[in-house]
Amino acid sequence: MIEKTEDAILYEWHATACLGQPEQHEVAKILYGKHNVFLLHYAARAHELASDARAQWMKWLGSVSVDSR
């Protein structure tokens, strides 16, 4: 977990190759709306995201919010 607030969780995870599935690196954000839950994520089938791609996605995911009006 990278960041947790009252209405969101920003996290990333890695999965190693297993049972024929490739390695995967994912960055994601869970947003809690008034009546809904949203999951936004970016995943790459690679050992590690390129540093510029990771930075770009972390910046974008970090800026996203839900208008709960």
| pLDDT of 66 strictly over 90 | no
CB 53 within 8 A of CB 46: no
List pLDDT tens digits, range 1-53.
Answer: 999 999 999 999 999 998 988 999 999 999 999 899 999 999 999 999 999 99
pLDDT band at residue 54, thresholds of 50, 70 and 90? very high
Q: What is the mean pLDDT of residues 47-68?
A: 91
Q: How far apart are the first and last CA of the chain?
A: 27
Supply the DSSP string of 2-25, one letter for each residue: -EE-SSEEEEEEEE--BTTBPPEE
Helices (DSSP H) in 10-69: which residue ranges? 51-63
- pLDDT tops 80 at residue 69: no
Answer with the residue of higher pLDDT: 38 or 67. 38
